[in-house]
Amino acid sequence: MKKPPEWSISIGFNIFITTLGIVFVALLLTGLVFLLFFSATLNGLVERNAREINKQIVMNFESYINSVIETANYIEFASYNRDLTTEAAALSELLRQNVNLKRDVLAIFLFDSTGNKVLGSGLDVARRDSVASQAWFRTTVATDGVFHFNDWQASSLVDSREDLVIPVSKSFEFLNGGRLERGVLLIELNNAGLTDLARKTNLGRDGFLLIVDEAGSLLYSSEASPDRRTAPALAVVADLFMGGQRHDLAGTEMFVNVNTLGQTRWRIVTISNADESAGLARRLIVLLLFILAVITLLAALFSGLISMRLSKPISQLKSSMLEIETGKFIAPIEVRGQREIVSLAHSFNSMIGKLQDLMARLVDEQQEKRKTELRALQNQINPHFLYNTLDSIVWLAEQQRNKDVIATVVALARFFRISISKGQNFISLAEEMEHVRHYLTIQSIRYVNKFTYGFDVPDELLAGKVMKLVLQPLVENAIYHGVGGEGGHIAIAARQRDGFLVLSVTNTGYGISDEKIALLCKAMRGTAEKSSVGLRNVYQRLKLYYGESADILVESRPDESTTISLLVPLAGPEERS
Amino acid sequence: MRNSTVIRESWPTSGRLAAWPAGVLIAALMALAVAGCAGGDPLVGLFLYNEADPYILEFGRQILGAAPSGFAIKKFDAANSQPIQNEQIDNFLDRRPDLLVVNPVDRLGAYAIIQRARSAAVPVVFFNREPLAADMALWDRVWYVGAKAIQSGRLQAELVIKLFGGDPAHLNAFDRNGDNVIQALILKGEQGHQDAEIRTREVLHSFEERAFRVEVLALEIANWNQAEAYEKIHHLLRQYQSAIELVISNNDAMALGAISRMRQNGWFNDADGNGVIDSRDPDWTPVVGIDGLRAAEQAITEGYLYGTVKNDSLSMALAIIELAEFLLGRRSGSSLSATVEDGRYIWVDYTPYVYQP
């Protein structure tokens, strides 16, 4: 199995990110749409409201203007067909009454076309001369048929009055000596009526009202400190003749609404705070962000929990699989969690079980096969040995050593009988020793005086079963490789030690070096090229039948002796199913 | 390991899914915007000062009726409030119209309409109420279609002069008391109103010019209103009774109001019972109006109203539509039936209207 690529993401993280992503995007979109819709609606509402207030204010002013016009109309109507020359007193009274009646009216004058006073009282003599040259007088004469609400004047035409006044004038026809003459009617208003109206209007925090003339010059501002926002508002009004606009005035977002004031050339400008709605939208954004954060956090928490619940058993399963990948079979996995994962783990466990069975069976089969092979090997009669023995028998017969011939043939027969031993694998130690003794008998007849031999086997061990034909190859080695020259000795011993039956073959001789011992051990395990067939066979059979604890030890004392010991577990051969 | 690969592969899909609603939203908004821009017909706004005024109501209908197909005309009624009309115009200009046709509430406020239209580059045709000349001069894409108020008073005087025989020295039988002076009641529109002032002034001025002597028994202000005239003439009829030889009204509505009261007080007799009042009846008193309302024409046919001066709204409506076609590039300047004076004024004549059997 390949290693997973670097960018691969775990299931749990996937679930976590997906859930979180969906929740976040959905919330963000909802919030955004809501915010857009809300602020659009709110802006529209506030703007409409500002316009409506402006309209209402203008209508209030209009009714004030109309009351002034009514006064003029009444004078015009009441003086209809009344001749100035005959009814001067009555007409003067008419004007005086109207001045007294109307709180805001300071004075009413009628001037002829040259600016001379015809009617009205209290005209400041010094100012009289200038009437014809006044701007309002000239425009009134120039444009008849309409009322002129003129630029506000710093002082009245009436003596002893220094109020800020609004001259309202109109071209006026009057009878003078039976002749219709054209003059100018002037009504002087104090500005209290308009300024009171302006002051009473509630335009909210920072809101104020301007009255400008047709050229956009300021007539009146209700702002407490007129320099702050009035000046920038006037700049706006220079291009704005009607309707509303948003403008930044002295750092605050304001609605500027403009309307004309009926019957006049004036415009009423209302300025109200638009920042309040922006502030509301800002608060909403903060609230939405807070909700977004909280819900995202909750979603993260829950999706984290869910993904953990879901992915934990899977990752357990995964780590188990990885262990199996390395070849270790472990105890069945215990997985708790989702039903699917649990059943997956169960299936996995049973699969692993079957796999283990299968592998065990495979190993067993391999071992059986090996055993069969080894048995076949062990049963093989060394043809050299047979040939040599037969050769020595022939030699003995030639020498007429009949007793020796008999002994050799008997030993050979016994040797073979034990070798076969009815096909059994395990024989008693006594039989094994017998087998070796027969072998030594034959070999000692063949190699006269080459070596002596001795057995040291306690009687209580003789009955114990041992794998057959394990000592003969050792003894064979001792004869061919150990004892050199004449007078060697081979000692065969059996001992019981630490749960092992130790069978040793010691021979005198030069001994073997440590390097040679190491080589020998390698040869036994079958890893070296050159090997002693006999020793390796014994070693492998021991391992195969007795398990790993069985072993062969090689010790050597240079120029003295070499001992090869077989460690056979007393527990007997390992039972394998 | 394959598991995680499968899920990773599904990622782009879920990404697309998440982007999907936003895409749809944007697409829908764009579709809306496109739909809002659609429409090939020129958009024209018609702003009437007050539909409660029957003359204006009819005028508006005539304009709509005269408009050819392919004109999208939106009509607005300001209910006699300039702030309302301002708001209507301001809002309408946001829809990027091609033309404004405006009957202003307040002729002094027209300068603001002109400036606003100018900033939106939408031409304006005013009618019925003439803005100040100085305001008309603010922009070269402003026109006025109307009648000269002076003419109405003069024509009204002509009708009366014709009825009384045309000779100031020898008035005919309609001068009941035979004093060669016409005793008249005047019903004035609105005190201070330009038209009312001009009509009143001009009718009297014309008599003077032609040396006809007219004695104004009383001048009553009835604010252009039929019901108000009906109420206000009552005491005058009682006070002057048969001394009244003529009733001059600034408009038809007030004339009709006066006639209602006169009929109620038994002023008109149908001597021969043919359903038509006979002007030869010695008790018949002439009433003259201005405007030429349909109801006035009806009253003329029935003999109650002597005559009216038609403020020819139908001709004006046609002139307005022709001018609109010209301004929208659908008509050449030379094919206009009315003459354009001073480059921006179209004057439609008043026409006298009396019973013609």
In a domain, B246, yes or no: yes
Do B155 and B226 lie in one domain? The reply is yes
Do B158 and B283 lie in one domain? The reply is yes
In a domain, B16, yes or no: no
Do B286 and B323 lie in one domain? The reply is no
Which two tokens mark B84? 């309302």
Among A57-61, A71-75, A198-202, the least confident range: A198-202
CATH code of residue B100: 3.40.50.2300
Give the model confidence (pLDDT) of B223-235 as tens digits. Answer: 888 999 999 999 9
Q: Which residue has the higher pLDDT, B278 or A517?
A: A517
In a domain, B35, yes or no: no
Do B301 and B160 lie in one domain? The reply is yes
Point out the residues of chain B with pLDDT beneath 70.
1-39, 357
Q: Look up tokens 């995202």; give the residue.
A: A296
Domain residue limits at B231? 149-310
**Closest-approach residue (CA) in chain B for A63:** B81
Helix/strand/coil for A492:
strand
Mean pLDDT, all residues of chain A: 83
Question: For chain B, how many structural domains are there in total?
Answer: 2
Nearest to A18 by CA among A303, A293, A312: A303
Which two tokens mark B12? 């782009």
DSSP-based helix, strand, coil % in chain A, nearest 5:
55, 20, 25
**Distances B136 to A462, A464, B131, B151 between C-alpha atoms, Å:** 145, 140, 6, 21
Question: How many residues can be counted in chain B?
Answer: 357
What angle, rounded to 10 degrees, do the helices at B2-9 and A11-78 form?
20
ipTM for the complex?
0.75
CB spacing of A69 vs B192 below 8 angstroms: yes
Give the model confidence (pLDDT) of A68-81 as tens digits. Answer: 888 888 888 888 77
Give the model confidence (pLDDT) of B271-312 as tens digits. Answer: 777 777 777 777 889 999 998 888 999 999 988 999 999 988
Which two tokens mark A423? 């096909």
Do B123 and B240 lie in one domain? The reply is no
Do B341 and B233 lie in one domain? The reply is no
Which two tokens mark A435? 């087998």
In a domain, B6, yes or no: no
In a domain, B209, yes or no: yes
HSE, side-chain direction, 13 A CA sphere, residue B280: 2
Nearest-CB residue to A242 (from B11, B116, B219): B116
**Distances B60 to A358, B52, B210 between C-alpha atoms, Å:** 103, 12, 37
Torsional class of A191: left (φ above 0), alpha (ψ -120 to 50), beta (otherwise): alpha
Do B153 and B302 lie in one domain? The reply is yes
Do B289 and B203 lie in one domain? The reply is yes
**Closest-approach residue (CA) in chain A for B22:** A29
Residues of A in contact with B112 (CB under 8 A): 241-242, 258-260, 267
Q: Which residue has the higher pLDDT, B36 or A194?
A: A194
Mutate to test the interface with B, among A70, A173, A241 (most CBs of B within 10 A): A241
Which two tokens mark A347? 């299936």
Which two tokens mark A454? 């001795």
In a domain, B5, yes or no: no
CB spacing of B83 vs A76 below 8 angstroms: no
In a domain, B257, yes or no: yes
HSE, side-chain direction, 13 A CA sphere, residue A434: 20
Do B98 and B174 lie in one domain? The reply is no
The residues with which A112 forms a beta bridge, in sequence order, are A183
Q: At a CB cut-off of 8 Å and minimum separation 6, what does B120 contact? A: B93, B96
Do B341 and B285 lie in one domain? The reply is no
In a domain, B284, yes or no: yes
Whether chain A has a CB inside 8 Å of the CB on B6: the answer is: no
Give the model confidence (pLDDT) of A113-145 as tens digits. Answer: 888 888 887 776 666 567 888 888 888 888 877
- Please give the Cα distance from A247 to A239 (Å, whole number): 13
Whether chain A has a CB inside 8 Å of the CB on B82: the answer is: yes
Nearest-CB residue to A76 (from B18, B108, B191): B191
Size of interface A-B (CB pairs under 8 A): 115
Element (H, E) at A105: strand A105-112
CA-based nearest distance B353→chain A, Å: 27
CA angle A116, A91, A78 (to 5 degrees): 115
- The predicted pLDDT at position A502 comes to 93
The residues with which B60 forms a beta bridge, in sequence order, are none
pLDDT at A277 over 60: yes
Do B141 and B286 lie in one domain? The reply is no
Helix/strand/coil for B191:
coil
Element (H, E) at A195: helix A192-200
Give the model confidence (pLDDT) of A310-339 as tens digits. Answer: 777 777 777 777 877 776 766 677 777 778
Do B333 and B224 lie in one domain? The reply is no
